[in-house]
Chain A
Amino acid sequence: MKAVAAPDAGLRSIPALLARNAATLGNRPAYREKEFGIWQCWTWSQAQEEIRALAMGFLALGLNRGDHVAIIGRNRPAHYWSMVAAQMCGAVPVPLYQDAVASEMAYVLGHSGARFVVCGDQEQVDKVIEAEGEAHTVEQIIYTDKRGMRKYDHSRMNWLRDVQAEGRVAHQRFEAELDARIAELDYDSTCVMLYTSGTTGKPKGVVLSSRNVIETARNSSEFDKLKPTEEVLAYLPMAWVGDFIFSVGQAYWTGFCVNCPEGAHTMMTDLREIGPTYFFAPPRVFEGQLTNVMIRMEDAGRVKKWLFDHYMRLARRVGTALTDGRPVGAVDRLRYGLGNLLVFGPLKNTLGYSRIRVGYTAGEAIGPEIFDFYRSLGINLKQLYGQTEATVFITQQPDGQVRADTVGVASPGVELKIAENGEVFYRSPGTFVEYYKNPESTASTKDREGWVATGDAGFFEPGSGHLRIIDRAKDVGRMADGSLFAPKYVENKLKFYPNILEAVVLGNGRDYCTAFINIDLTAVGNWAERNNIAYASYQELAGHPQVYETIRRHVEEVNASVAQDPMLSGCQIHRFLILHKELDADDGEMTRTRKVKRGVIAEKYADLIAALYDGRTSVYTETEVTYEDGRKGRLKATLRIEDVRTTPTSAQRMAAE
């Protein structure tokens, strides 16, 4: 069908694809949003009308070629329309993280010099106004939700629907202009600019061209044979490249439908109602759901519990094989079928996963048993490896070659090479154009032949040829004794335990490794409840001796498994402590995508680190914290430090004998 043909001259921009879809798939749903109790629906041709109206409205407001249009808000059709409308006008959409605090927003607005800002609601508008301060760099603010806005000075503010209305009435004047600008768009015109919440330093504006986006969308769509009948749920931050590729790139390329939840608090019910066929979620979502499932099953009656356990055991045995289409005995097939009727089917249904054809997870390593849990239910969950600079796809797992510990083979059109220091390099049609207003870091990331450093260290698995990522290249260090230090590798193993939410392993240049642990309040809290252990706060629960005991056991198990790998056996943890607060993006300890900022932590918790290495068994500390409402406060605590048994590696054992 047309959707998967090579792009002819006409299909070299998102607006062009929109026109194509409106023509060929006019009456198929393009967008749905849960609002006012039902799923409001827009077909492709309706969507085109809306977007054009908005674009003309933008023209009326004086949007120029090359302007930047910042978009801040939750996933809503109107916001996706704003992006495409901006493109139509020859401007560049710049989606921002809606949970960014004003200070973060100030930098990005300043850096991109956005003249227009589209805000989801009053809250975002307030932030923008605060962020720009006296500067008034923003010329037009367009808001989607009218609630509470009538008090504001509207000299440079408009309700999005009013802008559209203006566009509609003015279509006589602007239609020609708009078509002209759309026609100007070609494969090298900028499609979108996304700010990477860099793990270090200021965020960088990654400029992606139409070529980047459309080529990638085409390849990846073909790779998974996406059809116009797919349903996706758009719930991940719009500022994140993944959402842009799934909800705009691939959606426009294949013409499938993008569904927007009513809001964060109804996300799970909406997921269940829509039952997406093509689904992406970072590992933490899957982890969260699995924990949730287990907790809910705790309270189940005996019969249900037995059924569940019994069939989950079966699933673990044959489930993944069935999903991969590997041969399975007739009897087991039959039993699995029964299990599907009694447990798997209903379970997937209540989770909203019944209809998933292709599911992806990425961004972090996912725990093997979590991964297998979903796959054994018959959900085709796969891993991919990518980054903003590559317009997501670097490697991904083809159907039937799915494993928890690799990230698959090079995506179509992507070339890979691994430098001697283990860092992974790639080159692809998706490779970004440049960092906006930042030639030097562009140069340092992308060399003349277009090879881009991922910043991750990894190696090709002999045999399967799948890529395995160990850690961030710069985080891979050496211990004092010169052995390899790969904190992430160990942290992931730790985080696979439901009780452990986050872990930070230290030891670069030291003679042994230590770790900070964040317990998972849901899991541990539930455990505490069942053993009626009272606790007032995260801090109190974290300090509980029994909790320490459990965590220590986990750490020892991890040490044992780390010891298996001679290359990394040096990374076993000798001492650890459980942090008195959860690591939090608001405190700058993590990125918005929940990646640990090692630098920040190293200095912020210097006192704790010191204690971990000077043999003390407890340490007193004070930490500054930011509350939801932005107020700051100090947290005082005395933390216990525990020693952990380590496992001698095979080599050492031999030596001992």
Chain B
Amino acid sequence: MDQLLYASEVLVNGLMTGVMYSLVALGFVLIFKASGVFNYAQGVLALFAALTLVGIQQGQVPFAHLINAITGSHISSFGWTVPSLLAILLTALVMVGLAILIETLVLKHLVGQEPIIMFMATIGLAYFLEGLGDIMWGADVKTLDVGLPQGISETAEAWTAALTGYGFFIDRLDIWATVIAALLVAALVAFSQYTKQGRAMRAVADDHQAALSVGISLRFIWVMVWSIAGFVALVAGIMWGTKSGVQFSLSLIALKALPVLMLGGFTSIPGAIVGGLIIGVGEKLFEFYVGPLVGGATEAWFAYVLALIFLVFRPQGLFGERIIERV
């Protein structure tokens, strides 16, 4: 009985983590759909966003270390702090700027290259951004607080206790995250369904040539998509940042998002969400049941192996389009 309850608690937490995964995965899907680029840098974008956010909030001087190292000065911060909302807004702007830079400096020149080349390029990009983030804001672990409620939610506990006789421990942040994620997804779907740009985006995703021929600017679409991806990254960054501090490991959630995508299929938004939930729940349950037997920390690989096994049986993922081979 209790066992089952624990399990279901684990399951709920799993769902919460899953949402986070989905969030990052979303960024991938967007960019992949619109530009056929498998953006490995997505996770680093999140890290970069979080770092920037913290930096702006705490009024750090960008590149302080570098400047100090070169000029021998000892500057570190402007000595002011910026209110969270404004900071988030500014960060969003930064992300847009970044998107534009990436488009003009990298993507534009890689048009027509095979996907794998693009993929590797984004790995390079990831390295670059990681280094850049560290140089701009310093590599030390930072705590991020944008006023999202944290800690165990009594209401949830009491409520579940009343319901099952056992109080679930659920982090408020997770609840919020879920809500925000849900909203974000809704927003994105709405955007791609009902706005002109959204439709343009989908058009490009379906057929570059056709889209071009009806006068849609590929470059604009790309900038837009990368900006959105940047924004999604920002949100994800906030969530994870608040949860477990802003540090390099944050960029590794990107890697976690990969199996998510493989389950959901690179081209499907709902796929990303479902995939995320499956992985989240799956790895928690696996760790809960199997972990103890094999020394734990199975989260490290469970997702990948799951995806791998899954792929062997359904190569195009849950929601991906079937590929018909021709000669």
Touch test A–B (CB under 8 Å): no
Residue numbers of A with Cβ under 8 A of B are: none
Residue numbers of B with Cβ under 8 A of A are: none
